[in-house]
Structure 1
Amino acid sequence: MSTPLLICDDSNMARKQVARSLPDGWDVDISFATNGREAIELIKAGKGDVLLLDLNMPEMDGYQVLEAIVKEDLPTMVVVISGDIQPEAHQRVTSMGALDFIKKPVNKDKLTDILKAYGIFSDEEMSFEPVVNTVLEEKVSLSPMTEPVVAPEVIREAEPELVVLDADLRDCYQEIANVAMGQAGDLLARLLDVFVVLPIPNVNLIEVSELSMALSAVEEHESTSGICQGFIGAGISGEALLILNDSSFKDVASLMNYQYEVDESTELELLMDMANLLIGACLKGVSEQLDMTFSQGHPVVLGQHRKISELIATNSTKWKRTLAIEISYNIENYPIKCDLLLLFTEASMITLNNKIAYLLD
């Protein structure tokens, strides 16, 4: 008899990666959910004896799903698969009833070992191929697992000025950013001994005039300080921006054991330390997933104690139209607000799209 298995993740790319990573020949009836609310409904409908659960999702995240499962005593066994790899995240989900935790991108052997360790899967249960819930697959617009997200002819013929960012591409870039964001957040959490609240990355193809809108989460009345650092790889170039609210300096200094005084040189040192950690880790996370390397330029100070629009204006002539990935890091129990933007040139998207198509094929 097939095991009802539910994969819950807001990313279409991630859902397909998890489905591909299931043990070969496992007799399962697979369903998909794009957020926690759908997952709870499907568990109640008997579609999720086993739940492979993401944490960062809209509407209802993974933590809320675990709370609901315990509160309503729902019959499911949960393994969390997430880009949030902080030790605290692992401890929290297991204390809330999850059997185990796997980091993204999911490793097939690791997933199989965990399923076997908890008696969820055994070699004796193997059949020929899994059953996929086609009704729900249509609901979440899940394309066939062997079909690349970007059509080859689009990659071959597209010119830089014609590049567009459709929903499938945005989903892929968002998932890649999610994994990279989690790796950087883990380093920040370990450095500051805190829990970093991770968002869903915001991905858009925008004009320079729209960069301020991409940072709308930062309060308009508060001044900021920023660092810019260029990067380049094979066919890819861009710049990374780190913007820190000025009100965050005192708490960041305390957590990093700085003897803080209201001094621009001390604040610049703190800003540089944050930029080196977050920009370096995020770019490393992206490069590992795309199987390429980035060379980073020397960090440049955009400005201190200025409005975001003023920081952006400093380099606006260079950015023009750009693929912008925005990540807003928050520290639990501290009023620290830090925004990281990865800005890729429009021409870079040709190479990026090829990399993504190869990754998914």
Structure 2
Amino acid sequence: MAAIPLLVCDDSGMARKQLIRALPADWPVSITQAANGKEGLKAIMDGLGQVVLLDLTMPEMDGYQVLQMLKANAIEAKVIVVSGDVQEEAVRRVTELGALAFLKKPAAPELVLETLQQLGIYDPRPAGSPLHAEIDRPEFKVGFRDAFREVNNVAMGQAAALLAKALGVFVQLPIPNVNIFEVGELSMALADIDQGQRLSAVCQGYIGDGIAGEALLIFHDSEVIDIAKLLGIEHLDNELQEQELLMDLASILIGACLSGIARQLDVRFSQGHPQMLGQHCAIGDLMHVNKSRWKKTLAVEISYGIEGMRIHFDLLLLFTEDSVKRLTDKIGHMMD
């Protein structure tokens, strides 16, 4: 029986590893991997993607663009989207573009099997049958940064879905950045957020199972009025009302992100109450006042955007240096 050309298209090596592991062991497929949409589209056009497992948030060309190109050029491929972006609007859009199914990350093997069977793509063969074949699984070496970025990618998608529902918008998702910074380097990395504007920031601490840190959510003051209007608030009468609005949004985003990380790593975080870290100030002032709180840190940078509006939120998850070993152990356990 000829092997089915299967393309797994995702910028994360960890995501590709998880997905390939979730495939039925006896499915006769020839696996090709692509690390972005541009590579993936070329593989499909080269005949290597009769069946495609496609991520949405990728560099070069994202999953939406791949689907648009397939549709525009009448290229036949059976596409199943596997994504951390679980907004209802994301599901609607990819279905409209021709995706046959949508699976949320990380995709459980039983759900992958059920989906493949429902679509008529996979037909299980009894063991010992001459048509029974064992899938050839490639070897993977996934580094800590790639794996932890994927954990945060899934978590941020869950947070975006809650934010989208609360504001009635479509949230544009970035690729998270994961870096280890000294506090001075962190200040430099945050300089792009400033751009000469006044900012307000909310922070929230968390700790659990040997992992600790602080989440920092940064708002541009010029965008706060527009955010309020999305929530049906026409006027912010005073700074206290503005603080309450920002802390409510922080609770949604930070809480959902931490919850998503905790579920994947099998930990439980205790979270402090959100607090205003600073209001109507420059990023340099925020960092100067709080530099004693952050020394060397593992930083995850996520910038959410609202489609069609000049609104975005910059979320930083700052893990203590002492947390890195525990995070490494947890991620290693996930990949075993």
CA displacement at 1:260 relative to structure 2: 1.9
Q: Do the aligned partners of 2:194 and 2:283 also contact (CA within 8 Å) in 1?
A: no
Summarize deviations over 1:282-322 as a string: whole Å, max 9, x none.
00000000001000112221111111111122221121000
Q: TM-score, normalised by structure 1?
A: 0.89
Q: What is the distance in 1 between the residues matched to 2:95 and 2:191?
A: 35
Q: What is the distance in 1 between the residues matched to 2:174 and 2:11?
A: 13
Partner of 1:73: 74
**2:105 counterpart of 1:130:** no
Q: Do the aligned partners of 2:303 and 2:312 also contact (CA within 8 Å) in 1?
A: yes
**2:192 counterpart of 1:225:** no
CA displacement at 1:216 relative to structure 2: 4.3
Summarize deviations over 1:15-64 as a string: whole Å, max 9, x none.
00000011121111111000011111111111100000000000000001
Partner of 1:257: 232
Aligned residue for 1:23, secondary structure, equals: coil
**Matched-pair identity in %:** 51
CA displacement at 1:257 relative to structure 2: 1.6
Which amino acid letter does the alignment assign opposite residue 13 of structure 1?
Answer: M
Q: Do the aligned partners of 1:260 and 1:266 also contact (CA within 8 Å) in 2?
A: no
Inter-CA distance 216–106: structure 2 relative to 1 (3 Å threshold): farther
Aligned residue for 1:237, secondary structure, equals: strand
Aligned length: 331
CA displacement at 1:258 relative to structure 2: 2.0
Q: TM-score, normalised by structure 2?
A: 0.95
Q: What is the distance in 2 between the residues matched to 1:73 and 1:215?
A: 44
Aligned residue for 1:22, secondary structure, equals: coil
CA displacement at 1:217 relative to structure 2: 4.1
**2:14 counterpart of 1:9:** no
Residue ranges of structure 1 left out of the alignment (5+ in a row):
138-143, 150-167
Which amino acid letter does the alignment assign opposite residue 278 of structure 2?
Answer: G
CA displacement at 1:221 relative to structure 2: 1.3
Q: Do the aligned partners of 1:302 and 1:314 also contact (CA within 8 Å) in 2?
A: no
Which amino acid letter does the alignment assign opposite residue 360 of structure 1?
Answer: M
Q: Do the aligned partners of 1:176 and 1:289 also contact (CA within 8 Å) in 2?
A: yes
Which amino acid letter does the alignment assign opposite residue 69 of structure 1?
Answer: L
Q: Which residues of 2 match residues 178-257 of structure 1 at below 5 A?
A: 178-257=153-232
Summarize deviations over 1:235-272 as a string: whole Å, max 9, x none.
11100001111111111111112242352112101110
Partner of 1:88: 89
Summarize deviations over 1:176-231 as a string: whole Å, max 9, x none.
00000000000000001100000000110001112233334424211110011111
Residue ranges of structure 2 left out of the alignment (5+ in a row):
none
Q: Which residues of 2 match residues 3-82 of structure 1 at below 5 A?
A: 3-82=4-83
Partner of 1:113: 114
Q: What is the distance in 1 between the residues matched to 2:189 and 2:279?
A: 20
Q: What is the distance in 2 between the residues matched to 1:270 and 1:211?
A: 27
**2:319 counterpart of 1:318:** no
Q: What is the distance in 2 between the residues matched to 1:351 and 1:297?
A: 21
Q: What is the distance in 2 between the residues matched to 1:13 and 1:307?
A: 37
Partner of 2:101: 100
Partner of 1:283: 258
Q: Do the aligned partners of 1:30 and 1:130 also contact (CA within 8 Å) in 2?
A: no
Summarize deviations over 1:318-342 as a string: whole Å, max 9, x none.
2100000011011111211211100
Which amino acid letter does the alignment assign opposite residue 179 of structure 2?
Answer: N
